[in-house]
Structure 1
């Protein structure tokens, strides 16, 4: 096993092991949570979703493996170009994207019949851009004009393009960038001031959207919050109630692999509520272990930050790991009823295409930074613009 890692899977071995474990867990959980649904709607083929996820995982692994071979300096050079390309892509998705669950989130590649969520790609690109900017501005943290034009404007614009169709993704991305700025020593007076203005503008957008219902899914957001605080156990809270039943019946050690009963009642047991299936089948022990795996990813990224003497790879690894960890925590919080339903999948585990592939690509970038550290590439002065460190 050591020789395999040394030859083919370079970088942080703990991250590789966590990813491979989550991949294998995904196959087991997808088959368990979707077999009855596949039997019902796909001609008795209980392995329909399993095979679909297996294909996604193979593609995701290739993307991750390829990304881990690329030097971090390549992402530094491409950050601005990729951001410039992602903005029109988000605009096209918002205006002409394929509707799913009353949201224009999907963009179809002409002639191939393949759809993807452009917001998934934009998340990684924006974090890449923020990491680059923060690495350059350490000696000018009090320059408000530069901060506003070069950092806040791109972050706000990208989040604004995602917001109408996908509030939770826009909020997750905004929070990740905010925490990166906080860690990046942005002047707190500027940071909290802009945050206050942003909250007011988002509130105004939601209020206007409720009057002109075609602008966004604001009514859906309001309904989810109302359902969350409501005592109604039969209608609006159906998903959450079924999830709570799954968790309550799982106990300490769970019912065992493949023995979930709530998979027949949860609307999305293989994606949004897969964490409830984990606890039902593997108990609190399985749920806590899954939580620890994601926290360990963040911890390993923090170690990369600690060892790095270059700011860009440090900010990039931290931002990407933070985004994935926050997404996982949001998915888990929804499943246990701590926050309203968001629709965020569990990274590397939930059934999905673009989310799984992009998340794997993000981890590939983190592994690439780790590989560069092992090869001392972070210390050879290759960075196109010197970090002010």
Structure 2
């Protein structure tokens, strides 16, 4: 175990005594659980599509090492460093999103990935955390009362981001980004009347997406109609939870991974339910809840508005993504094609989440000026 003396003034020494170690441990546990579930869910999928059994396991482990380095490196940053890195990543990832329309591969009718050096990268995954921090900075500058139109610039950027994502199309990620942006705007001082107005516009937007985008209409219709043939994956997921019961069928004994195309990604929670049971699922939910509540509790006495908004945005984003994925698996929400943080297979998702949680660890580190009591 890593140990440092309190008198250690090295970079890592100062990091160890200022970082939230409980949060760090919870993230490590989540990554360990994700590795175990990838081992459980992905071999059957890999074999079914013609790869070697441990193809996805090897790739996930290959991405894990750089992801951990990214998370630790980001957690070493101070708030100014987090802001600067986020601006650079936001600009680069937005350029990547634009490039998907010209050189991106089409997967399931969507243009979300570009190939670089033999690797498929989803730039929009990096837009999420970077935009949350950039929006927090713009809102914080606006609230300083110096006439800086931060809220207006943030609104324009949000419209651009969502517009590009809807063109891919990626409605699920668009909803997450807008929800996080609205939460940050509300914390920054959005009038309640305007908040209600924006909420109404959001509902109109969802209804418009239902009327205009066929795949959105299909997912909502299948969610509302249990007899719809498009509910095949949901039905198999529900069967998996029922078969798993309280204690599960045992590691490797699940059947749902043999028939679900997305058993290693969108529906890996169903694999956990079948093989490890109800208590394992509750344990996973508990880890997510602990991380979200721990982060929010760290912000209760924060007096730096930028840190408050950025950390709240990243935390909301992390928790909302988990809620959506688990809700889809339990047939509580329409299918969204969204991964379960640190659990589902996916290189871009893993890297972006590592960056997000690294910045969150950096923002919630103890600083003499922010008043957090350890």
Q: What TM-score, normalized to structure 1?
A: 0.85
1:226 paired residue among 216, 221, 224: 221
Contact persistence 2:94–2:124 (CA under 8 A): no
Change (3 A) 1:228 1:194: closer
Change (3 A) 1:78 1:64: closer
Q: What TM-score, normalized to structure 2?
A: 0.89
SS across alignment from 2:121: strand
Specify the alignment match of 2:134 in structure 1. 129
Per-residue deviation, residues 172-221 of structure 1 (Å, max 9, x unmatched): 111111112122221222233234345445644654xx4xxxxxxx2111
Change (3 A) 1:196 1:146: farther
Matched pairs, number? 362
Change (3 A) 1:249 1:204: closer
Contact persistence 2:318–2:341 (CA under 8 A): yes
Specify the alignment match of 2:257 in structure 1. 263
Question: Gaps spanning 5+ residues in structure 2: where?
Answer: 7-11
Specify the alignment match of 2:274 in structure 1. 280
Change (3 A) 1:115 1:200: same
Q: 1:95 and 1:123 mapped to 2: Cα distance?
A: 21
Specify the alignment match of 2:79 in structure 1. 72
Q: 1:148 and 1:308 mapped to 2: Cα distance?
A: 21
| Aligned counterparts, 1:117-196, within 5 A | 117-138=122-143, 140=145, 146=149, 149-164=152-167, 165-196=169-200
What displacement does 1:378 show?
Answer: 4.9
What displacement does 1:34 show?
Answer: 1.8
Change (3 A) 1:84 1:50: closer
1:303 paired residue among 293, 297, 313: 297
2:234 paired residue among 236, 240, 250: 240
User: What do you get for the CA RMSD once the two structures are aligned?
Assistant: 2.5
1:55 paired with 2:55, answer no
1:21 paired with 2:29, answer yes
Contact persistence 1:97–1:104 (CA under 8 A): yes
Which sits farther off after the overlay, 172-181 or 93-102? 93-102
Specify the alignment match of 1:376 in structure 2. 368
Which sits farther off after the overlay, 130-139 or 173-182? 130-139
Q: 2:139 and 2:315 mapped to 1: Cα distance?
A: 17
Which sits farther off after the overlay, 8-17 or 58-67? 8-17
What displacement does 1:256 show?
Answer: 2.2
Per-residue deviation, residues 239-292 of structure 1 (Å, max 9, x unmatched): 000000001111112122222111111221111001111111221111111111
What displacement does 1:46 show?
Answer: 2.5
Contact persistence 1:79–1:132 (CA under 8 A): no
SS across alignment from 1:236: helix
1:3 paired with 2:8, answer no
Question: Gaps spanning 5+ residues in structure 1: where?
Answer: 211-217, 380-389
What displacement does 1:114 show?
Answer: 2.1
SS across alignment from 1:259: coil
Q: 1:197 and 1:185 mapped to 2: Cα distance?
A: 19
Change (3 A) 1:366 1:182: same
